[in-house]
Structure formats: structure tokens, C-alpha cells
Amino acid sequence: MHITVVGSGYVGLVAGACFADLEHEVILVDNDQKKLADLRAGQIPIHENFLPELLDRHRGRRLTFSDDIQAATQASAAVFIAVGTPPTEQGEADLSYVESVARSISGAINSYKVIVEKSTVPVYTSEWIRKIMLRNAAPPDAFDVASNPEFLREGTAVTDFLYPDRIVLGADSERCASVLREIYAPLTDGSYYRRKDAIPRPDRAAVMPTAIVTSAKSAELIKHASNAFLAMKISFVNAVASICESVGANVQQVCRGIGTDSRIGPRFLNPGIGYGGSCFPKDLMAFRSVARECGYEFRLLDEVMRINEDQRQRFLRKVRNALWTLRGKRLGVLGLAFKGGTDDIRESPAILLVQSLVQEGCQVAAYDPAARERAREMLNSSVEFTDNAYEAATNADALLILTEWDEFANLDLDRLHKALKYPIVIDGRNLYDPEVMAARGFTYYSVGRAPVSPEGHATDTAPSLRTSTS
Ligand SMILES: NC(=O)c1ccc[n+]([C@@H]2O[C@H](COP(=O)([O-])OP(=O)(O)OC[C@H]3O[C@@H](n4cnc5c(N)ncnc54)[C@H](O)[C@@H]3O)[C@@H](O)[C@H]2O)c1
């Protein structure tokens, strides 16, 4: 099938490359000329596993790049809108990019086409897209608007796209649904998975994804409700971790006990420094706004957001408790991306923490395997960037682990001990076993587990952590 994907960011670029791998003919449209030039020249603007392979395989063949949205639309049976939907100051989704795309394609409807929302948008957006296109003279019988929300996670985006748990197809007519079904048929009939050159199946992938056909409105709500639920799970476990810290329990043990209940499941039960990224924070705010507009005060979401914010403040208190005063202290920081496996620093809790620490007068030496360049633009000269974890630790008063990159879980602990001025590690991602860290000579703080020191006893939990939040 001939497909246009408008917006070649984290979602559009991955979706376009994966559609090409499903043997569709794909035009990726963007209005960022530099991005297009880089893509045509073989550069890859984001860090994502398997994306280089897919772009190499299809660039200039099944996958082309263009800034001509109208020509691309005319040549396609389906147009996926994957532009940004950032938050407004009031916390609603800014849909002006989506509207601008809808206007641009209206005049190019030369045969039946399905316009597909891939961006995360509030309920009713599909109706608005249709209205805008009709206002701009698109023939009413020649197009349908569908919602096909994207559930990929940065860091595992390609395998998430090709091996999803489910594919949600929000279509209000059978004609429209059948176009969407055809696009995803290589996944839902399993033919893609039988191919020798298929991107390898990740360990936890479902055998075959289920296609869930819904109305467009239901599909829009599925995406917002899914992200809100996942964020709730993270805040829930962070709240439990705070109680564990107060009573001296171990959150890892508690999570094992909770997560083995099949009704709950073990995933997204990792305490840490809170969620971030370009999706959860903005999607929760947008979902709360949508609910409010519909006359429902979704107070649960307020609390999820409050716990998330508080989790960062708790971590800062932990750093203070470990080091007493902060001004002039040198801190090694491991991780700036909002999660492991990506170079994305949008709403990264690691960046927000580094900014607070710099403001308090700390000198920060930071290392991230992929996000350095993006972080440099945001943090500029206030932070020193190093080439590896040990350099970041060199002569530091403490080492902070802020992103769960695999390589941070496998450090040479003797080398780290030698590099640090004081062997203090404050781990916001629980990458190490406290007993092992104490045995290797570290004073080690983590989340929801008692701090430990080489003397073999739990270091005193300072009063500000024992008393509740604020
Ligand atoms: N990033 C994720 O993990 C993720 C996951 C699921 C859903 N989403 C949703 O997908 C959407 C896109 O997210 P993203 O992270 O890919 O954003 P992004 O900012 O990385 O990419 C958006 C792209 O759209 C382009 N663009 C903007 N207006 C355009 C126009 N009028 N014509 C052509 N191109 C235009 C921009 O230049 C940019 O390249 C958002 O709604 C987001 O919430 C994101």
C-alpha cells in the first residue's frame, strides 16, 4: 500500500521505517528541511535500536523523504499524522500542528483516503480533523478519519512497533477499518514473523498481536487511559517505596509480592525518581483537561502527578542527607536521558535534578551514552560532560545514578571506588544490590530500600526522609 507519514520524529520515523519493512511504499513528510536533508544523506536523527538497519534497508527504495505534503497525500491511500502534540500553558494538548496538517492535505484528496491520527490526541480530535478538512473543501465521501494510537516506547521503539501486544484500529466505517487492517496484515496474519529478514523478536513479545477494532473516539481514549494507568502504576509504587523507606522494608521484595499476582503483573513496578519523557507528563495533563471539559474532575490524576513531582524532591533530600551541604560539592551523574536506550531528554527527571543541583551550587560531571549532545544544548556550560562513567566519578563527593542504562548496572565497582573521592553512590534507579555495594566498600542509597554503609549496618535514615512528604 502507498502510505504517507507526516512528521518524522520519534514516532513518525520509526512508523515509516517499519511500514516500509512491512513492504509498503512509504513517503515520510516533514517541514524541517535540515531533518530531511540529514535523513536523505543517511544520517539518523535519533538513537533507537534497529532503526539504522531499517533505514539502510529501505532508504531511497520503499522509503522516501519529502516536504511536499500534497503530492505525498495524492500518491497515498493512507496518511498518518505523527506530528507533535505538546502541552499548552494550561496543560491541554496543542493541536495546532495536527490542524495545520489537516488543512494542508484537504486539497489533495483525489481518491478515497484514510487519514490516520498516530499522534496522541484528545477524544474528539478525529471529528475536528474531519470538520477542518470539509471546511477546506475536501470531498466528504472521499476520506475517513481514523485513530491508530501508538504504544511504542523509546529505546525499544522498533521492536515495540513490529511486535506489539495489540494494534488499536479506531475506525467509524468498515471501508476505513479494512484499509487499516490491510496495512497491519503482515503482523496480524503472522507473515512478517515468518520472514528470515524480520527484525528479531524480543523476549517478552506476544506470539501475534491482536487487532482491536473500535470507534475512533474509543481509540483516542484508549491511548490517554493507557498512559494515565501506567503513570499511576509508577506513582503507586513510588508511594509504596516511600513507606518502605520509613519502616525499613525493602520495596523490591514488596514489588515481587505484588507483581506475581497475575491481576497486577510485575511490569512498571520499578520505583525510581519518577516518570518523565515527552508522553506521560503531557498526556496526563491533557487527559485531565479532557475529563474536565466533559464535566469530570479526574482527581486521581492530580495525585499521580503530585507523587511524581514529590519523588524528585525526595531524591534531592536523599542527596542532602548523604552529603550535608551541597554548595561546592562535586557530583558525578550517570544518565541524562529520561530513560535508558534513548537520547530523548524531554521532561527528563535526570535533567530536572541536575538543574536543581547546579542551582544549589554543585559542580556536576555527567555521562550519558546517547543523550550528551541534546543535554549539552539544554544545560550548556553549567555541566561538564565526560566520555565514560568513571570519568564522571573521578574525584566526586558522590555518584548519582539517574537513568537505567544497562551499562550503568554493570560498572567495574573497584574502578569506581578508586575514582570517587568518597565512595558514596546515590542510586535513583535501584541498579545495584545494597548488600553487594556495602561489601564492596560503598555507602549506598537507593529508592525504597534502607541505605547501607561498608560497616555493614544501615546508615541512619535522616528525619526528612522519615517524616512524610512535602
Ligand atoms: N515519543 C514517543 O515515545 C511517543 C509514543 C507514542 C505516541 N507519541 C505521540 O506521537 C506524536 C509525535 O511524537 P514524537 O515524539 O514523534 O514528536 P517529535 O517532536 O519527535 O516529531 C514530530 C515531527 O513532526 C514534524 N512536524 C511538525 N509539524 C509538521 C507539519 N505541519 N508538517 C510536517 N511535519 C511536521 C516535526 O518537524 C517533527 O519532526 C505526539 O503526539 C506524541 O505524544 C509519542
**Which residues lie below 8 Å from residue 126, measured CB to CB, with a gap of 6+?**
117, 145, 146, 147, 170, 172, 216, 217, 220
Contacts of 381 (CB under 8 A, 6+ apart): none
Contacts of 234 (CB under 8 A, 6+ apart): 268, 270, 272, 274, 275, 280, 308
Task: Please write the tens of the pLDDT for every residue from 137-156.
Answer: 999 999 999 999 999 999 99
Please give the number of the atom of ligand 1 that sits closest to the Cα of 149: 7
Torsion region of 48: left, alpha or beta (phi above 0 gives left; psi -120 to 50 gives alpha): beta
Ligand 1, atom 25, lies closest to the CA of: 7
Q: What is the pLDDT of residues 451-470, one digit of tens each?
A: 999 987 556 544 444 433 33
pLDDT at 206: 79
User: What is the whole-number distance in angstroms between the Cα of residue 100 and the centre of ligand 1?
Assistant: 13
Instruction: Give the model confidence (pLDDT) of 75-117 as tens digits.
Output: 999 999 999 999 999 999 999 999 999 999 999 999 999 999 9
Shortest-distance atom of ligand 1 to CA 29:
33
Instruction: Please report the atom of ligand 1 found closest to the CA of residue 100.
Output: 31
Q: Is the pLDDT of residue 60 over 80?
A: yes
Mind listing the pLDDT tens digit for each residue in 416-461? 999 999 999 999 999 999 999 999 999 999 999 999 999 875 565 4
User: How much is the pLDDT for 100?
Assistant: 98
pLDDT of residue 462: 47
Ligand 1 atom 33: residue of nearest CA: 30
* Ligand 1 centroid distance, CA of 272 (Å): 27
Distance (angstroms) between ligand 1 centre and the Cα of 390 equals 35
Q: Atom 15 in ligand 1: which residue has the minimum CA distance?
A: 10
Whole-number percent of the chain with pLDDT over 90? 95
> Which tens digits make up the pLDDT trace of 177-232?
999 999 999 999 999 999 999 999 998 887 899 999 999 999 999 999 999 999 99
Confidence (pLDDT) at 464: 43
Distance CA(347)–CA(337), nearest Å, equals 9
Q: How remote is the CA of residue 241 from the centroid of ligand 1, in Å?
A: 34
Catalytic residue among 176, 279, 294, 362: 279
Taking the centre of ligand 1 as the mean of its atom positions, its distance from the CA of residue 6, in whole angstroms, is 9
Q: DSSP 3-state assignment of 296?
A: coil
Instruction: Name the closest-CA residue to atom 34, ligand 1.
Output: 30
Residues having CB within 6 Å of any atom of ligand 1: 6-12, 29-32, 35, 82-85, 97, 100-101, 119-120, 150, 152, 154, 278-279
The per-residue pLDDT for range 256-275, each reduced to its tens digit, is 999 999 999 999 999 999 99
* Average confidence (pLDDT) over 358-379: 96
Contact 79, 115 (CB under 8 A): yes
373: confidence class by pLDDT, cuts 50, 70, 90: very high
Mean pLDDT of 44-57: 96
Nearest CA to ligand 1 atom 13: 84
Q: Among this protein's residues, is 18 annotated catalytic?
A: no
As given in the structure block, the three cell numbers for residue 41 are: 544523506
- 200: which 3 cell numbers? 528479531
Residue 469 pLDDT: 37
Residue among 10, 104, 120, 161 whose CB has most ligand 1 atoms within 8 A, to mutate = 10
Query: Which SS3 state, helix, strand or coil, does residue 404 take?
Result: coil
Give 376-408 pLDDT, tens digit per residue.
999 988 899 999 999 999 999 999 999 999 999
Average pLDDT, the chain: 95
- Own/partner contacts of 172-176, CB < 8 Å, gap of 24 or more, are 172/126, 172/144, 172/146, 172/215, 172/216, 173/144, 175/112, 175/144, 176/114, 176/144, 176/146
| Contacts of 183 by beta carbon, 8 Å cutoff, 6+ apart | 1, 3, 19, 22, 24, 78
Strands (DSSP E) found in 215-316: none
Q: How far is the CA of 462 from the centre of ligand 1 (A)?
A: 43
Q: How far apart are CA 195 and CA 344, in angstroms?
A: 31
Rounded mean pLDDT of 166-181? 98
Residues 6+ apart with CB under 8 A from 404: 270, 272, 335, 339, 340, 429, 431
- Residue 110 in grid coordinates: 483525489
> What are the strands, taking DSSP E only, across 311-448?
330-334, 363-367, 383-385, 398-401, 424-427, 443-445
Instruction: State residue 382's pLDDT score.
Output: 87
Cβ(363)–Cβ(330) below 8 Å: yes
How far from 112 is each of 15, 31, 108, 116, 144, CA to CA, in Å? 22, 25, 11, 13, 8
